[in-house]
Amino acid sequence: MKKILCFGELLLRMSPQSNGVWLQQHQLPVYVGGAELNVAYALAQWNMPVAYCTALPDNFLAKDIIQGLKNDGIDTTHIQMQGKRIGLYFLEQGTDVKNKHVYFDREFSSFVTLQPGTIHWEKVLEEINWIHFSAIVPALNDTVVKVCEEMLQVASQKNITISLDLNFRASLWQNNRNPANIVPVLAKYCNVIMGNIWSANTLLGAPLQLSGQEDVEKSAYLTHAVSTAEYILQHFPKCYTIANTFRFDTFNGGIQYYGTLYTNGQLYVSANMHCTSVKDRVGSGDCFMAGLIFGLIQQKDPQTILNFAAAAAFGKLQEVGDTTRQTIADIQKTIQQYAQS
């Protein structure tokens, strides 16, 4: 059976409690994650055949992690054992990975030091019918961009579907590297692009007319979702499906959330979901992406695809850790809850 391949850097998240509590209690929770791995975990949870390609050092930590991935149903055959270290990031519990207080420690990691010509993509992609990566990959350095483009060129020749999540992490774009000059080089290969109107502006140059202020009417955001999607379709002709997520903090510490899907000239909109508290903000967008892939591969209708993706993303906000453990039944329950309301 053909598989989905997720390509990106595996990270270990160090998630201390705030105000130095972790020092007093001598506890520092560690979570395995990384944008593309989070997608792979979700798909495996939903019984989709999925493989993961990254680079890890040949040490006991990496071997423990790989065994854990295998136990959770992820094919690890294509993990490259090379380099000297696993990338890390540090984030206080309950905060967002986009927060200015997040600290990435991934310099000289095994993935960051990948070199062109070292992965035999013809072999890796033999049993693959879908590739997923995120804009975090090209943010790392120009050499990794070349490795990624090698993969996309071979995938394109094989008519493999390619999806891209427009993850934007400002702190990763260093040395005067302009993402709007780099990400489009990879986006031109992609068939499915997911993000939001702000990341599409920053990474792909799509015009932006609205701010992220809460007093903007939802109808204005939906209109903007259409214009952003049409820009992407015009400038990246291989793309046929564009999704946008809208997540806003509310005054009481909660979240308002909905998503859109644009395909075949029509905009689909999910239910407007809201909660008064959040357990963990990390990985929600990855859940949305996984939901898109899950529905598109099964050739569900666009509204069904979007409803599942948005509900999965919203449900992830109530889980601690980078990856989801939501079942299909859990997500269907969320869909039904908001369909009734």
pTM of the model: 0.95
The amino acid at residue 163 is S
d(CA 127, CA 121): 11
- Counting every residue written for the chain, the total comes to 341
Mean pLDDT of 191-207: 97
Mean pLDDT of 34-57: 98
pLDDT band at 212 (very low <50, low <70, confident <90, very high): low
Range of the domain at 10: 3-340
- State residue 87's pLDDT score: 97
Instruction: Tell the burial category of 235 from Cβ atoms under 10 Å away from its Cβ (0-12, 13-18, 19+).
Output: middle
Mean pLDDT of 164-193: 96
pLDDT band at 98 (very low <50, low <70, confident <90, very high): low
Look at residue 318 and tell me whether its pLDDT is greater than 90.
yes
Look at residue 4 and tell me whether its pLDDT is greater than 70.
yes
- CATH code (residue 130): 3.40.1190.20
- Give percent of the chain above pLDDT 90: 84
> What phi, psi does 186 have (nearest 5°)?
-90, -35
Q: Tell me the three state secondary structure of residue 128.
A: strand
Structure token pair of residue 248? 């806003």
> Could you count the other beta carbons within 10 Å of the beta carbon of residue 213?
7
Task: State the residue for tokens 């967002």.
Answer: 96
- State residue 340's pLDDT score: 72
- State residue 37's pLDDT score: 98
pLDDT in tens, 220-269: 999 999 999 999 999 999 999 999 999 998 877 789 999 999 999 999 99
Look at residue 41 and tell me whether its pLDDT is greater than 70.
yes
Q: How far is CA 201 from CA 65, 168, 218, in A?
A: 36, 10, 19
Task: Provide the domain count of the chain.
Answer: 1
Q: Which residues contact 287 (CB under 8 A, 6 or more apart)?
A: 38, 42, 309, 312, 313, 315, 316, 324, 326
d(CA 197, CA 194): 10
Mean pLDDT of 161-176: 94
| Residue 166 and residue 132 in contact, taking contact as beta carbons nearer than 8 Å | no
pLDDT band at 97 (very low <50, low <70, confident <90, very high): low
Look at residue 93 and tell me whether its pLDDT is greater than 90.
no
Mean pLDDT of 33-55: 98
CA R_g for the chain? 19
Look at residue 211 and tell me whether its pLDDT is greater than 70.
no
Least confident among 7-11, 97-101, 113-117, 158-162: 97-101
Look at residue 95 and tell me whether its pLDDT is greater than 90.
no
Look at residue 124 and tell me whether its pLDDT is greater than 70.
yes
Mean pLDDT of 154-173: 96
Instruction: Tell the burial category of 257 from Cβ atoms under 10 Å away from its Cβ (0-12, 13-18, 19+).
Output: buried
- State residue 54's pLDDT score: 98
